[in-house]
Structure 1
């Protein structure tokens, strides 16, 4: 484990909301799951900027991978996850089967999206390297980290476009939302 991964794990363990979500989801036995995006990188930004745990976190993105791409199968998982939480977490954990993303992504975001073969593969397609971080609480209580671009941008409070895809249609909106809550961020374009 790198020094930055160890720092990330320490920050995650100190965030009671994030640990609650990780512990609860681990107990559900979902296939190839991760908590990723805002709940992870924003926890780091909160720690670095001295903000309280949970500041700015609107939801916990939960990705899992199930080759059954039917809406009924995903809906059953969404309902199962919701039933595992009490409010406010019940409404904050957003569940998506990564095997289905290619079915709706272009219609929602106006960009093509090739089918994925696993949850971690999705991270490489995120808007910015700083956003492309996923974590999972393993059965032995370790926290595994997936970060295809590394963790340097997250810890440097830097948002830059994903170098492996065109600039996302929602880039300006994503940057504006992030810098409004964390004005210390550096944006590189």
Structure 2
């Protein structure tokens, strides 16, 4: 327990060192979404930056926020995206806010394999192509929460492992290749 508490603290420090992450986490409650998480590269890549001594935000191409709303219409998601664009307009960063309840509607067309509907935003985080990347941060008022279903050891150890739950092999292998360009010491298990 003590080990995970120290990893949680280190993760929060690494993420909050990135001013874009800090601003997103500070402002997201204003959207009053029932469930939302800052996730993907904004989290694990900032941990890798901390581990390797890179500046916060190095190599982060976009900032993903997953939320979950049972309204599956594009209009409802678009309304949230537009509100977020206003909220984060001056940040100068690409922020991608998506309703994870809708993923099954477009996933097969984009990635070539069907997806079952997710049950929550954390369910979507659990399905990332690498277990190492399955991590998210949110806040309820002043309480931080971290979702890391496969633990944080590989994230801090810079070791990618495939998660075969949803993503096809080529997605995992492409991610590994892209990440190694920015973090050459990254280790990865084969598919």
TM-score norm. by structure 1 comes to 0.93
Q: Deviations over 1:48-73 (max 9, x none)?
A: 10000110111110111110000000
3-state SS in 2 of match to 1:99: helix
- Check the 8 A contact 1:98/1:118 in 2, yes or no: yes
Aligned to 1:69: 72
Aligned partners of 1:109 and 1:169 also within 8 Å = no
Alpha-carbon distance change, 17 to 88 in structure 1, aligned in 2, over 3 angstroms: closer
How much does 1:132 deviate?
Answer: 0.5
The answer to whether 1:85 aligns with 2:102 is no
Match of 1:109 in 2: 111
Could you tell me whether the CA contact under 8 Å between 2:14 and 2:56 is conserved in 1? no
User: 95, 98, 101: which one pairs with 1:99?
Assistant: 101
Runs of 4+ deviating beyond 6 Å? none
What does 1:3-14 align with in structure 2 at a 5 Å threshold?
Answer: 3-14=6-17
CA distance in 2, matches of 1:129, 1:97: 21
Does the residue aligned with 2:64 lie in a helix, a strand or coil?
strand
1:167–1:82 distance in 2 versus 1, CA, 3 Å: same
Q: What is the distance in 2 between the residues matched to 1:34 and 1:78?
A: 14
Q: Distance in 2 between matches of 1:166 and 1:61?
A: 17
1:99–1:116 contact (8 Å) kept in structure 2: yes
Q: Secondary structure at the match of 1:2?
A: helix
Q: 1:166 to 1:80 in 2, by over 3 A?
A: closer
Q: Which residue of 2 aligns with 1:181?
A: 182
The two structures have a TM-score, normalised by structure 2, of 0.92
Alignment of 1:1-189 (within 5 A): 2-89=5-92, 92-140=94-142, 142-162=143-163, 164=165, 167-189=168-190
The question of whether the paired residues in 2 share the 8 Å contact of 1:60 and 1:92 is answered with yes
| Structure 1: 5+ residue stretches without partners | none
Q: Where in structure 2 are there 5+ consecutive unaligned residues?
A: none
Q: Distance in 2 between matches of 1:125 and 1:147?
A: 12
